[in-house]
Chains A and B, each alone.
Chain A
Amino acid sequence: MFELDLRSRKPIYEQLVEKLKVLIISEVLKTDEQLPSVRVLSTQLTINPNTIQKAYRELERQGYIYSLPGKGNFVARVTRDGNTERLAKLREELVKILSEAIYLGMKKEDIIKIISEVDVMVRGGEK
């Protein structure tokens, strides 16, 4: 289903939470779809089952999944426009990148031009 970066410094449980969130927000995992059991996932990824259990509990706490006793974990109804967190992060990154570009001498007009080009590319040029 997905791969974890075992060499990353980021704790595995955090990586799991993030990966699953992305899958849920992007609707790869649909509402009410059952998540793989702790047992299956831990064997597939060779990850400690308690770590996976912990990630599931955290996702449940954040409202991304719900659990039915004896049945497993399921994707909760998530408001898909709830990308606020990700957007805030992107904004932060943009500021960082733009600051560097301006510092290195890129002109405001050039940046605006890039933005319109990307806009055309993504939206297919609709006006």
Chain B
Amino acid sequence: MIEAKNISKMFDDSAALTDVSINVKKGSIYGLVGSNGAGKTTLLKILAGVYRQDQGEVLIDNQKVFENIEIKSKTVFIPDSLYFFSQYTVKDMAIFYQRIYANWNEERYQILKNAFQLDEHKKIQQMSKGMQRQAAFWLALSITPDFLILDEPLDGLDPIMRQKVRNLIIQDTAEREMTVLISSHNLRELEDLCDNIGILHQGRLIVEKELDDLKSDIHKIQAAFQGDQPKKIFQNKNVLYHEKRGSVRLFIIRGKKEEIIQEVSQYQPLVLDILPLTLEEIFIYEMGGIGYEIKNIVI
């Protein structure tokens, strides 16, 4: 379990994180999303024990993380910008990690060699961006970590590699109950991978929920009515967004699907469509609700 309790972090005068608490259950894949500069990377670095928080507590397996060798030897963090020693090949890195991580699995390293098809004797820094990412995953998964923390992990990988890496992560989660925390801007990608989602904005956590709950709680409704639109409709509901497109009305509403259908049916709509929202849409409307929204700028 990865737990952060009321974390705050300042860099000089600016607050990067304010009172953030998150909870990643064992064996879960947790997706951390957020606006640019929301503090995702800072949070991940604190959880991985790279930065120390100013306030609050970070626990992995109920132990403090910072400078805790036991926890760190079970945790792998793949940062946004990768770091390898200069002149090192994948093999050299493997030998280095083997000495540091007690759970290094040589057998796995050999099996994964086939999955990634990289030349282990090539200098990593001479590899392309995508290949360097592959090397990072190859090494990370050979360590067989209990906790895997990934910052924008699939950036720069081709579609086949993405699928392969996702599959490898899922296998480890299913078989060894590895706990995974992923930050990404690619919400489509998180949608099939994660079971829990946290949304960060300006250093605060604004939503933390199971993905399925998040999705079943919010709906997109398109309806058209005979004559004028009934004025009283959805007065008692939490309407996040409302728009007229010709004679069709679009609503984004929070609430139970059955209740919404019941209410609309009273007004005998000519057209009624209820769609679940994609994670991307949820993100956009949640952000809109706190004043960070899409405004098309006309130049």
Q: With A43-B171, A49-B173 as given contacts, are A11 and B195 in contact (CB-CB < 8 Å)?
A: no
Interchain CB contact under 8 A, B192 and A6: yes
With a 10 A CB-CB cut-off, give which of B28, B166, B211 has the most chain A CB atoms. B211
* B270: min CB distance to chain A, Å: 11
> Taking the complex as formed, is B27 at the interface, i.e. its CB lies under 8 A from any CB of chain A?
yes
How far apart are the CA atoms of A10 and B191 in the complex, in Å?
A: 11
Q: Which of B28, B170, B212, B277 contacts A43 (CB 8 A)?
A: B170
Does any Cβ of B come within 8 Å of A50's Cβ?
yes
Q: Are A9 and B278 in contact (CB under 8 A)?
A: yes
A59: min CB distance to chain B, Å: 15
A35 close to B (CB within 8 Å): no
Of A6, A11, A13, A38, which one neighbours B174 at CB under 8 angstroms? A38
Does A29 belong to the interface (CB within 8 Å)? no
Q: By the criterion CB–CB under 8 Å, are B216 and A11 in contact?
A: yes
Q: Does residue A19 face the partner (Cβ distance < 8 Å to B)?
A: no
Residues of B within 8 A of A10 (CB): 276
A47 within 8 A of B: yes
With A49-B27, A50-B29: A39-B174 Cβ-Cβ less than 8 Å: yes
Task: Looking at the assembled complex, report how far the CB atom of A103 sits from the nearest CB atom of chain B, in whole angstroms.
Answer: 11
Q: Provide the bound-state CA to CA distance between A12 and B210, in Å.
A: 13
B residues 265-299 with Cβ under 8 Å of A? 275-278
In the bound assembly, the distance between CA atoms of A51 and B27 in angstroms comes to 12
Q: Considering only CB atoms and an 8 Å cut-off, how many residues of chain A contact the other chain?
A: 17
Q: How far is the CA of A43 from the CA of B171 in the complex (A)?
A: 6
A116: Cβ under 8 A from any B Cβ: no
- Which residues of B lie under 8 Å from residue A26 when comparing CB positions? none
Interface residues on B, range: 20 to 34
Q: Which of A47-71 contact B (CB under 8 A)?
A: 47-51, 54
0/1 string, B5-33, CB within 8 A of A gives 1:
00000000000000000000001110000
Check B212 against A54 for contact (C-beta < 8 Å): yes
How far does the alpha carbon of A30 sit from the alpha carbon of B192 in the complex, in Å?
29
For chain A, residues 1 to 56, give those with C-beta under 8 angstroms from any C-beta of chain B. Answer: 6, 9-13, 38-39, 42-43, 46-51, 54
Complex contacts, B278 vs chain A, CB 8 Å? 9
Residues from chain A with a CB closer than 8 A to the CB of B27 are: 49-50
Interface membership of B247, Cβ < 8 A: no
B194 on interface, CB distance cutoff 8 Å: yes
Whether B186 sits at the interface, judged by CB under 8 Å, is no
- Asked if A49 contacts B170 (CB within 8 A), the reply is yes
Residue of B nearest to A51 (CB): B195
Q: Which of A13, A39, A48 contacts B175 (CB 8 A)?
A: A39
Known: A39-B175, A42-B171, A46-B170; 14 extra A-B contacts, CB below 8 A, are A6-B192, A9-B278, A10-B276, A11-B211, A11-B276, A42-B174, A46-B167, A47-B170, A47-B192, A48-B29, A48-B195, A49-B174, A50-B27, A50-B28
A binding-site residues for B, Cβ under 8 Å: 6, 9-13, 38-39, 42-43, 46-51, 54
Which 8 residue pairs are nearest across A and B when measured between Cβ atoms?
A49-B174, A50-B195, A39-B174, A9-B276, A42-B174, A46-B167, A11-B215, A48-B195
